[in-house]
Amino acid sequence: EAQVTQNPRYLITVTGKKLTVTCSQNMNHEYMSWYRQDPGLGLRQIYYSMNVEVTDKGDVPEGYKVSRKEKRNFPLILESPSPNQTSLYFCASSLNSWSSNTGELFFGEGSRLTVL
Amino acid sequence: DAKTTQPTSMDCAEGRAANLPCNHSTISGNEYVYWYRQIHSQGPQYIIHGLKNNETNEMASLIITEDRKSSTLILPHATLRDTAVYYCIGGFGNEKLTFGTGTRLTIIP
């Protein structure tokens, strides 16, 4: 089954304790991206990747890191989490650029992160 | 900044057609317009996309104006399960993408 898998789905952590949210897709997609969703602010892009070893900042990259060493995986790293990073996070992937004819985005189920 | 403009909220009676408008005046010639919806806090779900011509699939129809600066998503016979937030995306001109706040559609029994 074609899917985007995120882990963990729920996490409560404390300020400063490094954490990684994993994202994996099984569709051989080139484009992958991370979003955070906060009440009243919609889905804001954190980072995106056009292909292996190619990543770039979205609108809200501060406090986050990513890597794309393999095509299928795109982990989101919070080196020193802070309470303002408490949010609902989504990973998404598409075959090609999101604005192309083959740009349908497939989303993971979301990861709800709470930083105390 | 979101490059699309949508109404914040809309209501539609169950069984009627729901028409959701979107302005995407900055869209470039080869950019597709995509529509997604999000039910509660689930991941957004693809609905439909188009470039110039009107499109229809099993979920919805998409009407794009000739100048491509706006479009309308049509749910022909809305059901309670269509209650969701609907996002129109397009007009960014690069690989960045932010969804904005979309239109909250409520289907009324």
**pLDDT tens-digit map of A34-92:** 999 998 888 999 999 999 999 999 999 999 999 999 999 999 999 999 999 999 999 99
Contact A12, A87 (CB under 8 A): no
> How does residue A32 score in pLDDT terms, banded at 50, 70 and 90?
very high
| CB pair distance less than 8 Å for B32 and A103 | yes
How far, in Å, CA of A74 to CA of A25, rounded? 9
Q: Tell me which residue in A99, A106, A109 faces B32 most closely, judged by beta carbons.
A: A99
Q: Is B51 on the interface with A (CB under 8 A)?
A: yes
Q: Is A38 on the interface with B (CB under 8 A)?
A: no
> How does residue B92 score in pLDDT terms, banded at 50, 70 and 90?
low
Count of CB contacts below 8 A, A vs B? 76
Q: Is A69 on the interface with B (CB under 8 A)?
A: no
Q: Tell me which residue in A45, A100, A106 faces B96 most closely, judged by beta carbons.
A: A45
Q: Is B59 on the interface with A (CB under 8 A)?
A: no
**pLDDT tens-digit map of B57-66:** 999 999 999 9
Q: Is A104 on the interface with B (CB under 8 A)?
A: yes
Checking if the pLDDT of B2 tops 80, the result is: no
How far A39 CA lies from chain B's nearest CA (Å)?
9
Spell out the SS3 assignment of chain B: CCCCECCCEEEEECCCCEEEEEECCCCCCCCCEEEEEECCCCCCEEEEEECCCCEECCCCEEEECCCCCEEEEEECCCCHHHCEEEEEECCCCCCCCCCECCEEEEEEC
Contact A56, B95 (CB under 8 A): yes
Which chain B residues touch A40 with a CB distance below 8 Å? 101
pLDDT at A51: 93
Checking if the pLDDT of B1 tops 60, the result is: no
Q: Average pLDDT, stretch B86-91?
A: 88
